[in-house]
Amino acid sequence: MNKEDILSLAKEVCFIERESVEQLCNKIDKPFLDAIDLILGCEGRVIITGMGKSGLIGRKIAATLSSTGTPSLFLHPAEGIHGDLGMVTGKDLVIAISYSGENTELITILPVLKRIGVKVIAMTGNLSSTLSTFADIVLDIGVKKEACPYNIVPTSSTTVTLVLGDAIAICLLKLRNFRPQDFALFHPGGALGRSLITRVCDLMHKGEENPVVSLETIVREALFEISKKGLGAVSVVDKNGILKGIITDGDIRRKIEIDDMFLKRRAEEVMTKNPIYIYENRLATEALKILQDRKINLLPVVDEKLKVVGMIHLHDILKAGIV
């Protein structure tokens, strides 16, 4: 094969699999709705089972369901024969995947599953198979041809199965009103999860780390506070702790060159009034957007009464790994 042949074959695979997914769209009808209703009514877990390539796709479907609000796990049929069927209860529901519908290990556990009392949803390309006869609902994953040139290797069929599993998961997600915040609870270790649950109050400098001076403080003392806290700025507050302004080390450097009396002036005289701020309960990603849009490095953090409770720096957000 030359380079043109390789590219042509690769594109053919894409075309064949795309056509198979388009054919799947025409099969999503009443049995699909029945399957969704059955899963929604399940009081236990959705247990996915399948051998070989079907099993690998099944593991992915189980993972997607679990992460989007539908408790699910994968059961290997061969392991099920040797004791793992003990994880199945009568309150569970089984989605069994087999393109032929005649896989030996899978067929062996079907009578036991029925004896346990679980409902079975079949994903198969053979609507008259043994699996289909055992199932309460049958979802058709049949394809006209595999992308393999010999029509042997599971390619189009596994793609269709994966897409069908995704369709089930996303429909359930919407029906359960599953929100990004819920998704984040199951993904606390990833950047996406952290970005959805990390709030400004989790990252801000507060207490003794929070640089704050009063309106009457002279600039020299404000400069000492900036240096001591190391954030490059200080919030200026009134006697009630309400944010009135901000002074940055950059402000001081620029103004001290043109004003000999600058260091002796009061903070109220030199501060930037009505500074940009963020509420403590906002997401850290919102603070990041403000910082990036305004091309600044830090923000005073306030409570609902505009009382200064902290300061958040760009480095704090980047260090948290939420982007």
- CATH code assigned at 245: 3.10.580.10
Handedness of CA 182, 187, 188, 194 (dihedral sign): negative
**65, 166: one domain:** yes
Indicate whether 79 belongs to any domain.
yes
**90, 150: one domain:** yes
Alpha helices of 187-301 — where are they, by DSSP H? Answer: 191-197, 200-203, 219-229, 249-256, 267-270, 284-294
The pLDDT value recorded for residue 187 is: 56
Indicate whether 98 belongs to any domain.
yes
Q: According to the annotation, is 76 in a ligand binding site?
A: yes
Q: Read off φ and ψ for residue 236, nearest 5 degrees.
A: -110, 125
The pLDDT value recorded for residue 118 is: 96
**163, 15: one domain:** yes
Q: What angle do CA 172, 178, 184 make, to 5 degrees?
A: 125
196-229 pLDDT per residue, tens: 678 899 999 999 999 999 999 999 999 999 999 9
**218, 158: one domain:** no
Domain count, the chain: 2
**172, 36: one domain:** yes
Over 70: is that where the pLDDT of 180 sits? Answer: no
> What percent of the chain clears pLDDT 90, i.e. is strictly above it?
81
The pLDDT value recorded for residue 186 is: 60
Indicate whether 43 belongs to any domain.
yes
The pLDDT value recorded for residue 198 is: 83
Over 70: is that where the pLDDT of 193 sits? Answer: no
**122, 204: one domain:** no
CA nearest to 160, candidates 148, 176, 142:
142
What is the mean pLDDT of the segment spanning 247-254? 88
Q: Which domain holds residue 214?
A: 200-319
**115, 44: one domain:** yes
**238, 288: one domain:** yes
**28, 150: one domain:** yes
pLDDT band at 184 (very low <50, low <70, confident <90, very high): low
Indicate whether 169 belongs to any domain.
yes
What is the mean pLDDT of the segment spanning 302-308? 95
Residue 64 neighbours by CB under 8 Å, 6+ apart: 165, 166, 169
**172, 272: one domain:** no
Query: Could you tell me the pTM of the whole model?
Result: 0.67
The pLDDT value recorded for residue 285 is: 87
Over 80: is that where the pLDDT of 190 sits? Answer: no
